[in-house]
Amino acid sequence: MNAVGLYQYLPIENEQSLVDVQIDRPEPTGKDLLIHVRAISVNPVDTKVRAPKNETETTPRILGWDASGEVIAVGSEVKSFAVGEQVFYAGDITRSGSNSEYQLVDERIVGKKPTSLTFDQAAALPLTSITAWEALFERLGISAHGEDAGKSILIIGGAGGVGSIAIQLAKQLAKLQVVATASRPESIAWVKKLGADQVVNHRNALDKELSGIALPQVDYIFCLNNTAQHWSAMANAIAPQGRICSIVETPEPVDLDLLKSKSATFVWEFMFTRSMYQTPDMIEQQRLLTSIATLIDEGQLVTTLNDVIRPINAANLRKAHALVEQGNTIGKVVLADWA
């Protein structure tokens, strides 16, 4: 079957950084679904895993952690899916990825595709939706049923993939006052369209930006960009007993003592935790993807797709990686259809 893989970890400008390969089609066992991949999207995790390093692979490593497609075979223990069903999922970072025509994925981290979306539109959603849902409703402890209505949240990096769905969840489900960061006219327009009540510029000190809109402290902060750079401002801006969640690792230690007097909480979100450690609650990701699909089909949420590249091949995937590496993409970049 067709796939895009790597043997060396190289700069994306190098044609050997991602190459077209032929690999064997796998067979499902146990809880696995065999999925015919119809569309994929690219996330920062793809570029981070592919980033240059002094390692080589003897067999092609297949990246990719976002896809939509069709179930074509199931393992003997599968309970929730049947052949022919259309699905979307983010996969498992410890297994072969979605940059291949066919992929094995544990049914517990797969959802049925929103019926109102194309494969392209659906592929933009899984990883970012899981990340945003877990961060808001599990890590930060915000009610998904509006019980925290009126409280405030700052979403740092609002126009990116995770920010684009987090704004919608925070506004539509949690009924929060949403402040998103953006710095360009097009990204400001994007976050406002998705439901941000106010916009501040992450190129400036965010605590000062918040004071400038008469909101010096917020109840929640969701950091999607440069945790270390924004740490002091977040510590200043978080309300007493507030909560901060980040998805961005820090190259240097941050001073947790800044949160002590406020009894504030800091927590990480990593959407691969459940699949990586095979946690007993893995199926929660299937359930939350089902909820996302329902919300999409009911019109409460919209896809965050902003660009589609066809077909899926190494040259086009290199283009998508380059776009994501620039760090200023709006929404999601999707590749669709195998040549």
Q: Find the length of the chain.
A: 339
Q: Rounded to an integer, what distance in angstroms lies between the CA atom of residue 231 and that of residue 206?
A: 10
Instruction: State the architecture of 2-125+280-336 in CATH terms.
Output: Alpha-Beta Complex (3.90)
Q: Model confidence over 115-164: pLDDT tens digits?
A: 999 999 999 999 999 999 999 999 999 999 999 999 999 999 999 999 99
Average pLDDT on 212-228 reads 97
Average pLDDT on 189-212 reads 97
**Any idea which residue has 């539509």 for tokens?**
172
How many Cα atoms are found within 13 Å in the side-chain-facing hemisphere of 117? Answer: 31
Domain residue extents for the chain: 2-125+280-336, 129-268
> Which string of b and e fits 31-65 if b means at least 16 CB within 10 Å?
bbbbbbbbbbbbbbbbbebbeeeeeeeeebbbbbb
% the chain with pLDDT above 70:
100
Average pLDDT on 179-201 reads 97
Q: Rounded to an integer, what distance in angstroms lies between the CA atom of residue 292 and that of residue 127?
A: 12
Question: Is the confidence at residue 248, as pLDDT, over 90?
Answer: yes
Note whether 335 and 122 are within 8 A (CB). no
Q: Rounded to an integer, what distance in angstroms lies between the CA atom of residue 65 and that of residue 93?
A: 7
Average pLDDT on 233-239 reads 98
Residue 131, helix vs strand vs coil: helix
CA distances (Å), origin 244, targets 19, 59, 224, 327: 39, 41, 11, 22
Q: Model confidence over 84-108: pLDDT tens digits?
A: 999 999 999 999 999 999 999 999 9
Closest CA to 167 of 135, 138, 139: 135
Phi, psi of 190 (to 5 degrees): -65, -50
DSSP per-residue string spanning 228-248:
HHHHHHHHHHEEEEEEEEE-S
Question: Which of the pair, 51 or 327, is modelled with greater confidence?
Answer: 51
In CATH terms, the fold of domain 129-268 is Rossmann fold (3.40.50)
Q: Rounded to an integer, what distance in angstroms lies between the CA atom of residue 80 and that of residue 63?
A: 26
Q: Model confidence over 270-317: pLDDT tens digits?
A: 999 999 999 999 999 999 999 999 999 999 999 999 999 999 999 999
Question: Is the confidence at residue 339, as pLDDT, over 90?
Answer: no
Phi, psi of 174 (to 5 degrees): -80, -20
Q: Model confidence over 47-79: pLDDT tens digits?
A: 999 999 999 999 999 999 999 999 999 999 999
Question: Is the confidence at residue 324, as pLDDT, over 90?
Answer: yes
> Which string of b and e fits 132-153 if b means at least 16 CB within 10 Å?
bbbbbbbbbebebeeebeebbb
Q: Please tell me the pTM assigned to this model.
A: 0.97
Same fold yes or no, 2-125+280-336 and 129-268: no
Cα-only R_g, the chain: 20
Residue 112, helix vs strand vs coil: strand
Which pLDDT belongs to residue 337? 97
